[in-house]
Amino acid sequence: MTAIVSVGGLRKRYGDIEAVAGVTFDVKQGEIFALLGPNGAGKTTTVEILEGLRQADEGTATVAGVDVRKDPSGVKERIGVQLQSSTFPENFLAKEIVELFALFYKRKVDAMALLRAVGLEDRAKQKSEKLSGGQRQRLSIAVAMVNEPQVLFLDEPTTGLDPQARRNLWDLIRAIRRRGTTVFLTTHYLDEAEVLCDRVAIMDAGKIIALDSPRSLIASLLARGFSKPVAQQQANLEDVFLDLTGHELRED
């Protein structure tokens, strides 16, 4: 598979802090890829460089065939970035918000088709501030899809959602990937990365310290002799919760 994001020797310093300290990785076309790491690891700085929002000090970065340092606005035309849903203007209907962002991008869009794709067709005439948290997250993904991006960047997409809404959003992310869009996400939820991602990069102190599929990373940990002190339970509290309250969405 070809690389749609290619990063080589990337560095970014803020005063004494080297936030990104020589990072090299590729994201393959059509995969769901996550950048993981503790607070302050340098994830946001790396992603903002890839989105053309921040200048790197050193190194190379290409996104969808565009050199990010030479042509940041060319990159912005080819990517989708999920905005925090709190940034939506007030008093606009869900459909009007999609249309508004289409205007910004100078795109003709079928707003209803986009809302249908994210499962919000029946909420088209509802004001965005009246939508549930999960619905607002899905609206923000519809907005990020307005310019038919080749790479969709999602920052902590399921923060604050209940278990049903999280799973529903995972299904939506998988559906977006099936349509050919590469998904690049950051998340602090490792269970989310494990079930959703083809490959994950783990970043710490500005460096990538591991990059592989979740399954291979777990297998190599076990091969190093790792074992948990207690046997893994066959179910957890989330399974109890979902068994009792059902898997269907509750936000309608």
Residues that bind ligand ATP (CB under 6 A): 14, 17, 19, 37, 39-45
For ligand ATP, the closer of residues 81 and 98 by Cβ is 81
- In the chain, the amino acid numbered 247 is H
Nearest distance in Å: CB 182, ligand ATP? 20
Yes or no: say if 144 and 155 are a contact pair by the CB < 8 Å rule. Answer: no
Nearest distance in Å: CB 22, ligand ATP? 14
Q: Which long-range contacts (CB under 8 A, 24 or more apart) does 62-69 make?
A: 62/5, 62/6, 62/7, 63/4, 63/5, 63/151, 64/4, 64/5, 64/150, 64/151
Q: Which two tokens stand for residue 116?
A: 């249908």
Nearest distance in Å: CB 99, ligand ATP? 32
For ligand ATP, the closer of residues 69 and 207 by Cβ is 207
Question: What is the Cα–Cα distance from 157 to 173, expressed in whole angstroms?
Answer: 10
For ligand ATP, the closer of residues 19 and 173 by Cβ is 19
For ligand ATP, the closer of residues 39 and 86 by Cβ is 39
For ligand ATP, the closer of residues 15 and 229 by Cβ is 15
For ligand ATP, the closer of residues 39 and 73 by Cβ is 39
Nearest distance in Å: CB 8, ligand ATP? 18
Residues 6+ apart with CB under 8 A from 54: 12, 45, 48
Residue 234 to residues 173, 205, 222, 241, Cα–Cα distance (Å)? 27, 35, 19, 14
Question: Residue 226 in 3-state DSSP?
Answer: coil
For residue 251, the 8-state DSSP code is -
Nearest distance in Å: CB 19, ligand ATP? 3
